[in-house]
Structure 1
Amino acid sequence: MRFTARIRHAIALAAVLSAPVSAQSPTALDFSKHAEISDIALSPDGKHIALAVPSADGMETQLHVVALDGQGTVQAMRFGRQNHVANIVWSDNDQVVVARARMEPLRARPYSYGELMSSDVHGKTQETLFAYIEDDGARSGRRKDRGFASIVKVLDDEPGKVLVDFTAWPDSRGDEDQTTSIYKVDTRTGNRQELEQTKETASFMFDHAGRARLKITSDDKDDPVLAYRPGASNEWMPVPKPLAGYNMSLLYVEPDNNTAYASITDRNEPAQLYKVDLAKGTRTRLAGSDEVAISRVMYAGHDGPPFAVIYDAAKPTVQYLDPASDWAKLHAGLLKSFPGQMVSFVQWTRDNKKVLFTVWGDRNPGAYYLLDRDANKVQLVSELMPWLKAGSLASTRPISFTTRDGLTLYGLYTAPAGTGAKPTVVLPHGGPHGPYDSWGFDPDAQFLASRGYAVLQINFRGSGGRGKGFEESGHREWGGKMMDDVADGVRWAIDNKLADPNRICTFGASFGGYAALMQPIRYPELYKCAIGYVGVYDLEVMKKEGDIKDRASGRRYLDRVLGTDMANLKAWSPAQNVDKIKVPVFLAQGSIDQRVPMEQFNALTSAFKRQGTPIETMVAAREGHGFYKPETRAELYQRIEAFLEKHIGH
C-alpha cells in the first residue's frame, strides 16, 4: 500500500527540514488532485495510525491501519464507490470507529452521512453501530436508525465505549424540533444505552466522567438557549446571564467534574476563553481579543486542559496561557524548527509520550509528523500533497486597511515573487456569514499566483472570525456595504502599488460568485472581467430554489441576511442587472448543484442572451456545489487561465 512507503524512519527534529528548492510551475492537475489522506488518527497506545485514503480519482476513500513498527498496512474498511471513510476515532487500542461519508466539493472533504461503523485493527471484526439499513428480501436490516449519529466523547475509563449524539432526521414538513438522544455505545458489540433525550434538537457537552452538563437548544429566532447542571446530579436549569450572556461551549472539564474551560460570548464580541466553576456559576477570563475570535484551542496532551489559543482572522497568532508550561515550550520549540509555518497538535497517546502533529503554511498544504517525546525524535507520517513543492508556490501575507466608514478590515495578498503592481484577481470567499479567509494554503490563490497573478482576498463585514456583531453587520448588505468593503480593498491594493489598476478581474464561488458579478455592477471602473463559479446571481430565485429554503430555519436565515424588500433584492441581483455588466464574463456551474441549483445559472445566462451579450460558460455534468473530480477541477483552472490571459494577461 502506498502509505507504508511514506512511514519514514525516525529522524532528529533538527534534521526534519530541508532547504527550499526551486521548481517548475505546477500543472492545473497538480492543484486539482486530492490530498493523499483526508483524515488521520493515532491509537491510544501509539502502535497504529488509522488513515482515510482516497482513491486516485477521489471517488472512494478507504480506512487503512498502519502499524508503526513497520509491519505493514491493513485495508481495514471500505464502503465502495462513491462512498468515503471519515471522522476516524479510536475507542480503544485495537478498536476504531468511522463514519460513512459523502464528499463536500468546495472543500474537497468528506462529510458524514450520520452512519457509524467500527472495526478492529485487522479489519476482521466489524460492527454497524448506527445506520438505516433497508430490508433485503426475506432478511431484515438490523439497524433502523432514522437519524444522524456522531461520536461526542470517548470514555477512557471504559475502553471501547463512547458517547454518541443521535438526532432524528427532519420530517417531510421540515419541522425543526427533532429528538436528540445521547447513547453510551459499546463499539465492539454495538450495544447501546440511552443516557439523555430531549424532544428538541440539542447539543450536549459533557464533564470528565461523561455526564451531560451543558445543553444548547434554539429559540424561534435561532438564538441559543442555554441550560446546565451546576452539579452532576442536578436537574437542568438556565445558565445565568453573568456566566454566559449569549452563548457558551464547554471545551474541557477537569477530573473534579466541576472546573471547566469554556468559550463564552456575552453579546456581540468575539468569544473569549474562561475558566469556570460550574457549581458556583463563576468564571475567570483566560484569553480572548476584542477584535478577532479564537479560532482554535490547543490542549495539554491527551487528557489535559487548554494551554494555548490561536487567532487567525488577522495575522496568525499563538497565545500561550502559561508560556513556562511544558506543552507551551514544546509547541514553541516546534515552531522554531519549522520556521514560517504553523504547528498544530492533533492527537496524543494516553501516556502523552507520543504526539501526532501537523505542520502547514501558505506554501505547505500540510504534513503529519509523529513525535516520540522520550527519544526526542520525529518521523514523517505523510505529506498531504507531496507533489507541490514550496519553491514553486507563492507567499501569502496578511493585510489590513480602513474602509470609507472607518472600519478596520483584514485580508490576504498572495503574489508571485517580484515587486511592483501586478495583474490581480479579486477572490471573495463564499458563505458569506461565518466563513472567512485565513492564512494558509489556498489552491485557488496558489494556482492563480503560479500563472503570474496577484490574488486579493478581503474579509468584508459579515465574515466570520470577528464575533457575532461583525457577522451581523453584513446582514441585508449583500449588494451594499459588503461590496463597498471589497472595492475599498481593491483601491487600497492599487494605492499601495500591489494591483495594476488596468488589469483586475473578479473570481469567486458560491457567495463569492455573487460578489464577482456584483462588483463590476457597483464598481465598473475597477474591473476588466468577472468569473462566477457555482454562484448566486438572483436573490429572488435564492428564496425559491435550493436546499436552504427547505427548512424553516433556512427560510428565517434568508429573511435575516437578505431581507424581504423585493425592490432591493432585484437591485442587488446580477441576473436582473446585466445591462450594467460591461466586462467579459465566464460562468461555471455543476449540473446537480443542490445548494445553488441550475436555476441561478440559467437566470443569469438567459438575461445575457436576451440582451444579446455573449459570455463564456462551463457546465459540468454530475458535479455539485463545487467540482470534485480532479479532471473537472483541472479543466476549470485551464479555462480560467485562458480567460484571464485574454482579458488581463500578464
Structure 2
Amino acid sequence: MSVQAQGLTLEDFARHEQFIEVKISPTGQYLAATRRDADGQIELVVIDRQKMQLVSQRHFSGKDSIGGFDWANNERLMLNIAREGGALEKPVATGELFAMDANGKRSLFLTGVSSKDKSTTVSTVIDWLPKEEDNVVIAEYNWRNRDPLVFFHKLNIRTGRKSSLGSAPIRAVAGVIAALTDAEGYPRLVAGLDSKDNNKLIIMHRAERSGDWQTVASYQRKAGSFSPLAFSQDGAAVYGVSDATTNTMALAKLDIATGAETLLMVSEDADIFPIFSFKNGRAAELIGASFEYDQLGSHFMTEVQDKAASSTIQGLLAAFPNKAVKLTSATADNKLMILEVASANDPRAFYLFDAEKKQIGFLLEAAPWFANQAISQTQSITYKARDGQEIVALLTLPHDREAKNLPLVLMPHGGPHGVRDSMSAMEDDAKVLAAHGYAVLQPNFRGSGGFGKAFLTAGYKKWGTLMIDDMTDGVRHIIAQGIADERRVAVYGGSYGGYASLMSAIREPELYRCAINFVGMSDLSLMYKEGDTTEHNLGIDTLETYIGRSDEVLKGQSAIHNLDKLKAPVLIIHGAEDQRVPLVQAEVLRKAFDERGHPYEWLVKEKEGHGFYKPENNVERWQRMLAFLEKHMAI
C-alpha cells in the first residue's frame, strides 16, 4: 500500500511539526509554544488562554534558533538560544539567554555575545527564584577562558544586571553545568570535570554561602558517576541518578558528609529516569522513575512527602497506557498542568489537566494532519543474538497486508552510543517505508543506550563487527518467523546507521539486495581529520573510546577499505554542509565506486547538514529511496 492510499502523502510526513513545546504561565493566563514555520524556522508564540488569541510571536534570523523556553514569572519568558545544523543533530545551545514579555515587548539578550556586555559565556538557569519575580540564579563559564571556573550570578531578567554569588573550581561537562542551590537561592553543590583531570568527574559542596568548596565524591568519567538532581529536605543529602555502583542508571541518594551512596530504585535490564512532582510551577520532589526495556513503564516510591501530587501523576500516566507522558509545565498553584503525550504509533499531542475538576482536556496536536489517518503500527520485539544476548528491537509492519514474506528494510539508528530506538516517539522513515509495503526492523544492537553500561560499552571499537552481527541476527530472526522474504532484504540508515548500512552489505554480501547510506561515514580514520567531533579534546577522547586508534581496526571496519566484498548497489545521500560527517566521506566513496565500476546512485543537497531539514528535500530523499528499493528489491 502506498502512503497516498492511506490519505497521507510524502509531503505530510515531511512537514515540520506545527508545535514543539507548549507551556502554561504561572497564573494560567497564557500558553506559550514553540513551532516551526513553513521554512523550518522555530518561533515562539504566546496565546491568551481564555480568548485563544495570539498575543505575540518571536523568531531569530540565520541559524540562530530557540532551543527551549520557560516562564520566568507571570508575564516574562526566558529563551535559550541554539544554533541548528542538520535534522540528525540536536540544535547546539549557544549559552545565550534572551528575555521578553508575554506581549513580545521589552526584549533583550541577558547573556552572551549579543548581550550588552558582549560576554563570551555559556549560561544556564539553576534556580528560578519563585519568591523573586525579577531575578533568577545562573551558572556560567567563559568558553574562551581556559581557567577551570564556573561562576554564579543572580541575574535580573528585566535589565540583565548581574550580582556575583561566587565561583567554583570545576569545568562544565560537554557544555552542561550541573548545580544546586539552597532554599534562598545560593549555590551549594556543583558537579563537573575535575579542574586538573578531564577524565575525572567530581561533586563539590560548600557548607557556607561564601565558604570553600569541598569534594564530596569523584568518579572516573568512563566508569560511571552520580548526577545530582535535588537536595533532600534536610539538605544533608542529594538525590540523583547514578551508575557508579550499578550496571544500569539508578535512582540514588548521596550523603554529603561521607560521600556514601544509597540506592533507591534500580532495574537490572534498563536505565531509569526520574519523575518529579511539581510545586510553584517547578519540579520539586523526586517521587518515582520511568523506564523502557521493551515496553514503557514507571514505578513510584511509597515514602514521599507530597502523596497527593504523586497520586495525581500516577493517575495521569495511567490515563495514557503504553504512551510516554511528560509534564511540561504547571501553574504556580498546580491547578492546571500541560501534558505532552506520544508513542511510536501516535504523533505528539498536548493536553490540559484541570486538577480541581479532575479532567484531562485535549489541547492541540503537534502534527494535526495525522489525525484519523491510518498509520502502519510499530511493535517492540526481542530476539537472541548468536551469542545468546537478548536484543530489543522495533518492528513496523504494513497495516493492509498479512505479515508474511514481506520485503524487509533493516534500519539501524544513528549515534550510535547512548542512543536507542524507542516506543516513545514516532519514526517517520519507518512509517513511510511501511506505508509502501516494507517491513522495517530497528534493532537496539549492542552499543545502544538505555540498557546499562555493559551493553553500551560492548559496542566500543566494534562498530563494524559485533554491532553489525547483532543487526544481522535480527534480520535472520524476522526471516525465520516467516515475516520477511529472504530474497528481498535491504538496509538503510543515517549517520552511524548509514555507515552500518555499508558495513552490513559488506559483512553479509549475500543477504542484502541494496544499501542506502544517508550522511554516513565510509572511512573511520577520516573522522580524526574531518568533522566537528575533533574540534575539542573531549571529542577526540570520545572517538578514541568509541573506535580506537588501531589502523588494523579502523581499516578493517571501514567500508572504503573493504569494497571488494561489496555486491549490493548503494544509494549515497548527503548534505553538502554536513559538519558532523563532512561530504568528503561520501566523495571518497563515490570516487572508489567510479574506479571499480560499482553501481551506485548519488543525491547531495546544498545547504543541508547532518540530515535534511527542508521538507521538499526529505520528500525528494524518500522518492529516490523508494524508487531505488523498488528497482533492486523486485524478484
Q: Same fold (TM over 0.5)?
A: yes
**Equivalent position of 1:321 in the other structure:** 301
**Distance in 2 of aligned mates of 1:521 and 1:191:** 59
The residue type equivalent to 1:288 in the other structure is V
Question: Comparing 28-37 with 108-117, which one deviates more in the overlay?
Answer: 108-117
- What is the root-mean-square deviation in Å for CA atoms of aligned residues? 2.6
**Distance in 2 of aligned mates of 1:254 and 1:554:** 35
For the residue of structure 2 that corresponds to 1:392, the secondary structure is coil
List aligned pairs for 1:83-98, cutoff 5 A.
83-98=64-79
**Equivalent position of 1:610 in the other structure:** 595
Decide whether the 8 Å contact of 2:216 with 2:258 is kept in 1. no
One of 445, 448, 454 as aligned partner of 2:439: 454
> How many residues matched?
616
The residue type equivalent to 1:350 in the other structure is A
**Distance in 2 of aligned mates of 1:69 and 1:49:** 10
**Distance in 2 of aligned mates of 1:526 and 1:312:** 31
List aligned pairs for 1:65-214, cutoff 5 A.
65-70=46-51, 72-107=53-88, 110-133=91-114, 142-170=116-144, 179-198=149-168, 200-202=170-172, 203-209=177-183, 210=185, 211-214=187-190
Decide whether the 8 Å contact of 1:207 with 1:254 is kept in 2. no
Decide whether the 8 Å contact of 1:53 with 1:61 is kept in 2. yes
Decide whether the 8 Å contact of 2:27 with 2:74 is kept in 1. yes
Change (3 A) 1:179 1:629: farther
**Distance in 2 of aligned mates of 1:479 and 1:639:** 26
For the residue of structure 2 that corresponds to 1:607, the secondary structure is helix
**Distance in 1 of aligned mates of 2:466 and 2:565:** 19
The residue type equivalent to 1:426 in the other structure is L
Change (3 A) 1:196 1:428: farther
Decide whether the 8 Å contact of 2:76 with 2:101 is kept in 1. yes
Deviation at 1:296, TM superposition (A): 4.8
The residue type equivalent to 2:364 in the other structure is S
For the residue of structure 1 that corresponds to 2:83, the secondary structure is strand
One of 548, 567, 582 as aligned partner of 1:597: 582
**Equivalent position of 1:16 in the other structure:** none
> Does 1:404 find its partner at 2:386?
yes
The residue type equivalent to 1:561 in the other structure is Y
Identity %: 32
**Distance in 2 of aligned mates of 1:534 and 1:49:** 37
The residue type equivalent to 1:161 in the other structure is N
The residue type equivalent to 1:359 in the other structure is V
Deviations 1:599-633 (A, max 9, x none): 10011111101101231110000101111111111
Change (3 A) 1:611 1:267: farther
Decide whether the 8 Å contact of 1:298 with 1:307 is kept in 2. yes
Q: Which runs of 5+ in 1 are unaligned?
A: 1-21, 134-140
Question: Comparing 104-113 with 306-315, which one deviates more in the overlay?
Answer: 104-113
**Equivalent position of 1:428 in the other structure:** 412
The residue type equivalent to 1:62 in the other structure is E
**Equivalent position of 2:10 in the other structure:** 28
Deviation at 1:148, TM superposition (A): 2.1
Change (3 A) 1:236 1:556: same
Decide whether the 8 Å contact of 1:576 with 1:607 is kept in 2. no
**Distance in 2 of aligned mates of 1:51 and 1:366:** 14
Change (3 A) 1:274 1:199: closer
**Equivalent position of 1:628 in the other structure:** 613
**Distance in 2 of aligned mates of 1:189 and 1:221:** 38
Deviations 1:498-519 (A, max 9, x none): 3221111110111111000000
Deviation at 1:180, TM superposition (A): 2.8
Change (3 A) 1:347 1:258: farther
Deviations 1:176-225 (A, max 9, x none): x6543222211111111232434542333204423231322158875442
**Equivalent position of 1:297 in the other structure:** 275
The residue type equivalent to 1:249 in the other structure is S
For the residue of structure 2 that corresponds to 1:387, the secondary structure is helix
Deviations 1:302-347 (A, max 9, x none): 3531222111243211112239943444344334443443322221
The residue type equivalent to 1:273 in the other structure is L
TM-score by length of 1: 0.89
The residue type equivalent to 1:236 in the other structure is W
For the residue of structure 1 that corresponds to 2:584, the secondary structure is helix
> Does 1:360 find its partner at 2:342?
yes
Change (3 A) 1:25 1:107: farther
> Does 1:379 find its partner at 2:395?
no
Decide whether the 8 Å contact of 1:590 with 1:619 is kept in 2. yes
Q: Which runs of 5+ in 2 are unaligned?
A: none
Question: Comparing 26-35 with 154-163, which one deviates more in the overlay?
Answer: 154-163
**Equivalent position of 2:427 in the other structure:** 442
Decide whether the 8 Å contact of 2:202 with 2:218 is kept in 1. no
Change (3 A) 1:454 1:160: farther
> Does 1:480 find its partner at 2:465?
yes
**Distance in 2 of aligned mates of 1:282 and 1:565:** 39
